[in-house]
Amino acid sequence: KAGVTQTPRYLIKTRGQQVTLSCSPISGHRSVSWYQQTPGQGLQFLFEYFSETQRNKGNFPGRFSGRQFSNSRSEMNVSTLELGDSALYLCASSHLGPSGNTIYFGEGSWLTVV
Amino acid sequence: GIQVEQSPPDLILQEGANSTLRCNFSDSVNNLQWFHQNPWGQLINLFYIPSGTKQNGRLSATTVATERYSLLYISSSQTTDSGVYFCAVEYGEKLTFGTGTRLTIIP
């Protein structure tokens, strides 16, 4: 069973540009969530999607947005990039099973804003 | 919101040593998970443990939900155990991560 796949793995953008990151969850998982990891703030929750609907949202400005498609694949977009948006962006998919709501992470997308 | 604190923040051990990592949380939670982040950034799920004790090889975890803490035990450490260990709690349908423990195993 393939894991959570994130693309691109590495990218460099300029301040003011926008970026789109993609995430393909584990087959059969309908919940996808996104996290931002920085040295200063640690791992912070961005948003969660389930069946194409945003269920939860973290405390990030409106420049951060996302969506989920009917095949459960998800994208997140950051507009008007700032230097502080440089981070590792992690996507996770989860499924409520006998062992509980276990969450699986992708390898992440490393974004550098210059 | 909920506070999740881990201790110690850094731990350096010789290969073969045992270690105990702690996670304290400030409110009742729906579940708790432990993760290991490897040097390439990927988070690997170790345990889903809202309460009780689980073991997987050299690793085991115990959560005492009534006292709001969880412990991760690593026995006979290997260099591949190096990395950052996070606990994460589900609170209000969101996963909140702790501050992490950076473990370095020296050969």
- Other beta carbons less than 10 A from residue B40's beta carbon: 10
The C-alpha atoms of residue A36 and residue A91 are separated, in whole angstroms, by 9
- Interface probe for A, chosen from B23, B94, B101 (most Cβ of A below 10 Å), is B94
Closest C-alpha among A35, A26, A47, A71 to residue B86: A35
Q: Which residues pair with B94 in a beta bridge?
A: B91
Contacts of B57 (CB under 8 A, 6+ apart): none
Closest partner residue to B31 among A43, A100, A107, by Cβ? Answer: A100
pLDDT digits (tens, 9 = 90+) for B73-86: 999 999 999 999 99
Name the DSSP class of B67: G
- Other beta carbons less than 10 A from residue B19's beta carbon: 17
What is the mean pLDDT of the segment spanning A51-74?
A: 95
- What residues in chain B have their Cβ under 8 A from chain A's Cβ atoms? 31, 33, 35, 40-45, 48, 50, 86, 88, 90, 93-97, 99-100
pLDDT > 90? residue A39: no
What is the mean pLDDT of the segment spanning A10-16?
A: 98
Q: Which residues pair with B97 in a beta bridge?
A: B88
B16, exposed or middle or buried, with CB in 10 Å at 0-12, 13-18, 19+?
A: exposed
Average pLDDT, chain B: 94
Q: Which residue do the tokens 């947005």 mark?
A: A65
